[in-house]
Amino acid sequence: MKTAVYPGTFDPVTNGHIDIIERASKLFDRLYVLVGENPQKETTFTAEDRVEMLKNALKKHSSRVSVEHFEGLLLDYAKKKRSNVIVRGLRAISDFEYEFQRAQFNREFAKDIETIFIMTKDDYAFLSSSIIKEIAMFGGSVKGFVPEIVEKKLKEKFRK
C-alpha cells in the first residue's frame, strides 16, 4: 500500500490546500494530512481548531484521507505511518526554493523517504493562509478562497 503524508500548519486551510489534498489522494492508497506546528510562527487557531476545520472541509472527500495532529519531527511521524512519501504543495518559485532545501535535508536523514511536489491550480497560486487571515482581519470577504467552515471560523475569530 502506498502511503503519503502532507504536512502543514493549515492556519487556516485554504482551497489551495484542498486542491493539493484532492489531487494527492488520487495518487496514493492512503494520505495523512498532518496538522503541525511551526515554531517560527504563532498560529491564529489552535491545533484542535485546525484539525476540526480540515476534517469538516474534507468530509465529502475520499475515505483514504485522514487528518491528524502531529508533533515532533516529520520524518519520525512519516515512518510511524509507514509512509515513504512526503507531499508538498507549491504555488510559486519562491515556495520551491524553501521546499527544495527542506526536501534535501530530509533526504539526508531518511534516504528511503521521497518528497514530491504538486503545483496548485492557477486559481489558487496567489493564496496563502497569511493573506486570508489579513483579509478576514480587516473585514474582507474570503468566500471562494477557503472552505465554508473556515470562512465562518474566521468571521467569529475577528469579530471579537
Mind telling me the catalytic residues?
17, 41, 91, 129
Please name every residue paired with 7 in a beta bridge, in sequence order, or none if there are none. Answer: 34
Alpha-helical regions (H) of the chain: 15-25, 47-57, 74-80, 93-109, 129-137, 148-159
In this structure, what C-alpha cell is assigned to residue 149?
467552515
**110 exposure class (CB count in 10 Å sphere: 0-12, 13-18, 19+):** middle
